[in-house]
Structure 1
């Protein structure tokens, strides 16, 4: 703005006044608009919270439905369902901890009026309670009697209660019986608490068989699995404290869907008219009306603070602008004097900057907006691999390779646009080898020759990047080891439960059953999965490898299908296996890894071309001269070997690649990690095997591997399982402790199936308390190693202190190295690796009890 315009503005006060009025009006309009926006935003947040609250309530009720379906499935699957089994299943779910809204889960049976006396006598005998009676007394057409109810402490008075006498419940029972689906009642008084607020009931019918029609459902109806809930607890669990702190919530029940009646209040008090949100949803066949309203603390101060802030800021800006316009002439001369002063300071600063640039160890340069080197600071013989004189006047694309030039030039342009420090990392091939550089670029405050310029600092970070890469790789491998150990331990627990159920199913069916071969295949699959879990434990340092006699031909044949789907589509897989091959001592999983790595590398060498991969086995008798000539320095002794050969017609390898093929992290693949062949070499060394490679560019590759012979395969005794299965039943009292409910349940069920009584504990502390309570009666103790509160080793030592002669079996998904050593002179202690077959567990129990 020139001085003439400044004088015009100052001499015309109406312009200044107009600016002031318009600014204040705009501030008021902005404040009103902000207020309207904040009100809309608050309503949108209330709608979002309402949707989340409805979804959470729906999911919570669905979870309760799933719990009841689980009880129904357990009741249907468990032969001879009784009160103790019902209680054990309830206790295993820990429902009061995870679902505090659930007051009880009960099992009720339907009894015709004519059968009351007979049913009452049968139920007294079945429940072992001579005082059991259906109450309240009286003659009625039908009775619906609660037999089991959990938790027992708060449901003792409900046992034997005819719930058809409670108003409204008879209709819900009949509706569940006739529909075959879960029925959710309206708000009502429930037996489990005396509070004034209502409760809800869920009923899930049980039938004898699978009826399809109404008549069949009525004739085969047995009873219902019932869930009782307190509405206050249910809503608090579903919506959570945070939602209830933000919103006022009211819920009414309008009756069954399609047949609504007068609304009854479920939760909260009806909300007054105003800024409230209403929703109507269908919840398991009933109509629920929701009302939501934001509490003052939910809306907060934003509805008025932001509009007031905007209005205040607008007024302040208007006043500042008005004051600025009145002082333009006075500040003009002051600005010119300040500019002259700052120019002198900038020149002094430039001189200091140049001196500092000469003192720092990193080269520095000034580049214009075209990426041209205008000036280079520092006494450095080479900058970016070239002499400084060769860079002056040249642009970045003229002196650097394309990738490095694009990265550095992009950072220069971004620094010019954003006025912020930018960093570019790139690599160059220099006479010293491949080097990594970091460029730091910052825009200069003043242009040079009319062009915007930047300052570039160049640092050689080759050593730093290599150190960081090594550290990242080491950390990744350590993390993978920890992860592999944790996953393997959890898998072993799951596999123990699966294998136990399979073995128990094998005991329960006839040998010629059509399910027998299926269960054998399932058992074999679980054992194969267990081998993989043991391999993962070995990788993590928490396990040991399983070395056994191995038929190389049989192992390759078993991998045929896996190898076929693992290679390129245009590659043909050929097998030439020599019969009569000797057995080798090896870990089957590791040898499978060797074969898989060689075949996948051969497939990668063929890529998208047409080619073939051949897998051969041969018997080789090698003398010392042959081994020293073909396998020098590998420590192989003369003798008989089983040879594995993998060859391909792929691209082959040059001498440099063959030299580095076993280096960790070296790979020629774009997406490879370079770990396959280095791991292969480690496996072969562990098996005292040798390897020989022949390859040339364009002529494919050939890998020859020698495994020392271990002689012919020994015969396998398969009679152990059948002998164990037909052995004398087990007797006595067993204490089983495992924090995994699935494992604890299957071990307890199996031992009970074999004739023992079982005490079950969820951790070592509970096991010690049970052992102390039943001291002198416990015949054998089975402890998991990894448990909360008190682990298996601690419980083992504590039990040994109480009774040194009680037999103990320690179980773990990890290896035996984690097991404590029993004190001298005490009863034996065995270790059983998870997963285990039930026959192995029975053999261990018999062994420690015989010792």
Structure 2
């Protein structure tokens, strides 16, 4: 009985232990289930975080780069079929596979890497610039690389575009901190200020590059920018590395932080040297045109007055035959008229309104002919040296006027080197003028791009001070005391009438170079033959002249030479009416060039429409109607430059009536 009770108690104890174990197992099972549920929830949360991340995420085997996981953005970027693409490796998406190996090596050495810039290929094989942040982890029992990427391709393109625009822009870009110390410079800024490397400027105050007299305006400008005022571009005098000054236009602004506080200054700088040069050339051209008009008008009136004086002087000389004393006095008067006539001719040269007989000219031949003349003025002939170019083309020009230009150049050089005893070099060169050439030196007659024959005279004299350079072509101006004539002024007018350019290069202490550029034509036309190659059909002459004193002199002289009838008109319009009424009796039209209502050439052109064989002789003090043309271009048989002698007129008329091609300019 006692044994049975013990067995029962032992059984009950065993049952209690079994119940406790079952209860414990149930608790463990419950906890395990709870842990498994929590783990599943955690995995789901992390998976959602990876899938919904706003950037590509990949997990790949560290050794062979097999892709173990890729979130949707990574799948989209690399064209993967799913989060665990079979057989795909990250190595195939690196433009340079060695970059992946370097990244793994760095991770093993440092454990984590951020900001690694690498070029990767997207699903279509296009290169994309990525910033990689990576670390080594253990994933499914393997050493793996967890990597996130940020695509900065568009940002790099924008940066490259910005740098290209900055580097290629004709304007310069600069940044400075709030103290005014320069922190960034574009290449254009360096060249503008004469520097070659940014280190020469960075860290220095921008005030060092502005002329002292502009410092106060600069401070005002900076304070205005800080206060939010934008007054537009400002003009300052910039200081180059060599100490020279140039004009610059600066437009600035303030770069601000997100909270609106100022962070730095930003400037756009433009070199105004070319604009100033163009403005100076424009002002010079306007001045030249104004002075030219005045000179031409004065010369025209003087020539008319000289013509009257010359005509009556010849009449008195013919009446004074046998009176030696009177003849001597009249000869002195004639010499004075001749000298005054030369000055009037130079004034016409300066105005660019002289008649010229254009023909193909060999500039080298002109120089050689002039050498013999100029060397007579030099105490040491060896100072003149000529370097001719090879295979130089002919240029359409008036040879006599070209000689005047060259003489003015050479005489200017002789005066400059009289005391220095330096050599004078003359050159003829064929040159293609480019835009860059037009920025060098001073251009009283503005240059333009194209093909030119350059005539150059260089001296080793003292040079021309910068403040006097713009006046060297002014009438009677000289850097050696009192001016003695029109010189370069007349040369400038001649060049303008030839559509030629003038360039002056001069540095104080290093001499002066004068360059004339004659345009080269593909086809150089020969000089036009006068229209008077045949004999006029009648001896009648129609004289058109608005100055009554000259008109009366000529009309009174013609019958003495056997011409007639003689008709007179005071302008081109009246001459045309007279021609209509007396066409059959008129064989030649003798006319002044510039007259009111209608010019002589215009009237002659209208008459030749009626009778193409009509002959004409042009008298002129200057001819605005011609511009850069010639008398021959209007079909005149010859021309006379006022004041002329009666003998010149007589010979010209005889040449026309005899049919010989002869004309006096």
TM-score over 0.5 for the pair: no
User: Which structure would you say has the larger RCO, counting Cα contacts within 8 Å and 6 or more residues apart?
Assistant: 2
TM-score normalized with structure 2 length: 0.41
* TM-score, reference length from structure 1: 0.33
